Chains A and B, each alone.
Chain A
Amino acid sequence: MKAERFALLFVIVLVIGVPLVAVLARSTSDTIEMHAQMADNGGWTPSNLTTQVGQPLHLRLTSDDVVHGFAVGQSIIPPVDVLPGQWTTTTLVFDQPGKYTFYCTRWCGPNHWRMRGTIEVTGTTSETITTTPPLYVTLNLDLDAPHPSEVVPDEKPSAIRGAALSVKRDRAAELDRTQSPAQLWQALKAAPETAALTDQQIWDLIAWTYRSRTTPERLAEGRQLYQQNCAACHGETGQGDGVIAPSLMKTPMPGMTMTGHETVAPINFMDAKNMLGASDAILEGKIIRGGMGTGMPYWGPIFTPAQIQALIDYLWTFQFGQ
């Protein structure tokens, strides 16, 4: 009889105690478990996090399908890979309040870039950061307007040939970020110092200008950003023929109008007519704001201004050779 009572007590303690311990352990642990799935299947779970300035955010990440990556936009926190069947831990500390975007860093399908979430960081900080709006906002540029170049070079402009020209090498050292290469070409064509140059020589001079305002390190950074984030659609050689491109090129049925939900073929950066008519400000705007109904992602909350400039410098190398 005594043994029976003891057994009953044992079972009751077991039934109540085990779940209680599990619940307590979960409530006291401040580690957040996050699951990653392709954007089509739900993306990040949870996708909205909150924390406070200076308070570390511990994350435990795993993938439910394919290889993903985790990174926080505009921050120096190193990205981590999120692999199926494995747990990755990372700790985030923010020293500035604001709304941060975290995103997937490994291409996981055509909708990879939609795999994003936010981290709301509250609190106060002593230092105030003033941000200047990008050039396309202050200039009120229409990013969707076509910008064909009226003039195109016969062959790919070469910075080496441009550097060899003796004419006024310092003239173009300071580039106007609102000016397109085509406008610069027109200006140089009209200028008396460069009037003696042939059309192609003026292009070479412009190529040298664009090449000499950047550094090899910045080009390398731009190249890396391009390969990781852009090449899947725009192609490794910039011709708009990336591996995802075929799934984006859906020709609209005759008689149908664009509703803004379609995707279009990625831009070919080797196309001189289109590229040479664009200014730094337009390229920057398109990267920050995205394509708005073309399938082009918006990178504003992901890249820092320096990263965007490195990317733009790299984009110009598709037009201006060494």
Chain B
Amino acid sequence: MKNPHLIIHHVLKLLILMGFTGYIAYLAFTGEILLYIAPHLVKYTELAAAGLFLFAVFQLYFLIRSRTKELPAACACGHHDHDHHAHDDHNHVHSHEPSRSVAKNALMYGLFILPLLFGALLPNQAFAGSLVKSRGIQVGESAGGIPADLAQVAGNDDPELKERFKSDKYNRDYAKLGMLLYRQDVIEMKDEWFIEKLQALNAFAGNFEGKTIRIKGFIYREEGLGENQFIIGRMAMTHCIADISPYGIIAESPQAGSFADDAWVELTGTITTTTYHGQQVIKIVVSDTKPAAAPTIPYVYPDWDFAKKL
């Protein structure tokens, strides 16, 4: 009753385990893994690759042993060739024995091979705004009620500045970041803290009127914007691509029409304020534009601990 195809199962499993190990290792090595998951998850994925490698090593051992050792009679049904299972032979169907149906097996291994095949055949690609049409870009601080306990942030900053950035306890971190930005000559929207800076700018939009800002991002348009307006944005990833969403700033320029959707540009301009979905947000009056190349990793990632690094 020995399954004659056991060797095929062992080999396929070994190949799949090695395939995933290799694929994840490749993505981690080239840095392209950031197109799939956020940086804080990378170390877990690397650990997973190590785990898969270990699985593969043991699978190799099981494969070799299945060729050299006779299987115990009671357990000839599957790769579960351990004596401890002999006691289970009454009414115990093993939970992970290979099925004998060729179609089912082909399907099962196919499901594992499919992602590897896709990984090998199709290039990794990053997405800009076209992926999220019509859902609306995040340009504002999320709707809050009336702040309950406005207070100045602690620390020995200029009291006048602290008065400008009064905040409730939920906004305190953004107030600190806002004060930092306020003191800069040119507010640079770089990859790091893109989302956090955007929140800080919008939470205290009035304070930043007249300031100069420089931002690189892609062009995005949505209904309700004027002829001379567009949104310059970045895609933010929290965990994986399934959760990416766009964050951006409304920009105003007489040449707005000349920019194609999804094109990458670097803008410099002056901050004013406007209202978007009932909230006060910042707006850029563009003074200078130049085309930019899309970054290899075009995503920005939220930094939950940004306040500690200020």
A is bound by B: no
Q: What is B's interface to A at a CB cutoff of 8 Å?
A: none
